[in-house]
Amino acid sequence: MLFFMSGCGNEPETRLETTPPTEPIPTATATTLPSPTPEPSPLITPTQTLEFTPTTSTPLPTATTPASYPESHFIPYVTGHSQVYELGCEASASVDWANYFGVTIYESTFQASLPLSDNPDYGYVGVVTTDAWGQIPPYAYGVHAEPIAEALRAYGLPALAVRGYTLEEVRQKLSENKPIIVWVIGNMVYSEPVEYVDQQGRVAIVAPFQHVVILTGYNETHIRYMNNGKYYETPNEVFLTSWGVLGNMAVIYE
């Protein structure tokens, strides 16, 4: 069994997929993440004043009737690429997701459209071109779902940020051929969540080695996802453990 450790760092090669790969697909298994090796560097105080104010998003209710989705479903023709910036997994996944729905966005353009903040719930934390992956605020970190959804809506996409989403809701959405952007840890591993208080006293839950991938399919026991243009599968319990660190956060097509 192969394990691929890839987070917000660039991978050595890019593989564009035009159809889901033939089986078997590498299976991600849980492992212990290394401690961040780069020496943390304090953030440069952003000069931008633009900052997204998230609104409360209510997760869809858990179905109370029998599930309307099939036992397994894999979305065809989801293509992707290897991210341009070491700390740019959110923008990379976002433009791949947008491309599936027929909207072309340059990764650098999308990254530049994100507001800056010291709180990832409100904007991008860090310097995408120079900072290293694996830290937490106030050091370089990345961005959470709400600013990403807001930026995607600016391109006319019905993107909605949700938290507390369930596996049943994931399966329902994937069965409708709607890929999902999710916030996990590394390549489906675990790290300890931390409560961070920003300069304005606002609280965010963050975690080392946060990463973003796109869910593309499922069966009874596994979830399939795309990471930097490549497909992987992981057992449901591994996915749920990693996804749960940041509260089952996602961007869905709604």
pTM: 0.79
> Domain limits at 107?
73-253
> Is the per-residue pLDDT at 192 higher than 90?
yes
The amino acid present at 126, given as its one-letter code, is: G
Sequence length of the chain is 254
Domains contained in the chain, number: 1
pLDDT of 57 = 46
| Domain contains 20 | no
pLDDT of 183 = 98
| Domain contains 57 | no
Q: Which of 1-10, 73-82, 147-156 shows the lowest mean pLDDT across its residues?
A: 1-10
| Domain contains 25 | no
pLDDT of 67 = 73
Q: What is the pLDDT of residues 214-249, one digit of tens each?
A: 999 999 999 999 999 999 999 999 999 999 999 999
pLDDT of 93 = 98
| Domain contains 48 | no
| Domain contains 34 | no
The phi, psi pair for 83, rounded to 5°, reads -60, 150
| Domain contains 56 | no
| CA-CA-CA-CA torsion sign (204, 125, 3, 24) | positive
Q: What is the DSSP code (8-state) at residue 212?
A: E
> Is the per-residue pLDDT at 97 higher than 60?
yes
Q: Which of 65-74, 110-119, 176-185 shows the lowest mean pLDDT across its residues?
A: 65-74
CATH of the domain at 117: 3.90.70.10
The predicted model gives 140-164 an average pLDDT of 98
The predicted model gives 160-169 an average pLDDT of 98
Q: Residue 121: CB partners within 8 Å, gap ≥ 6?
A: 54, 144, 146, 147, 202, 204
> Is the per-residue pLDDT at 7 higher than 90?
no
| Domain contains 32 | no
| Domain contains 84 | yes
pLDDT of 28 = 54
Query: How far apart (Å, rounded) are the C-alpha atoms in residues 190 and 253?
Result: 26
| Rg of the Cα atoms in the chain | 17
Query: How far apart (Å, rounded) are the C-alpha atoms in residues 169 and 237?
Result: 16
The predicted model gives 67-91 an average pLDDT of 95
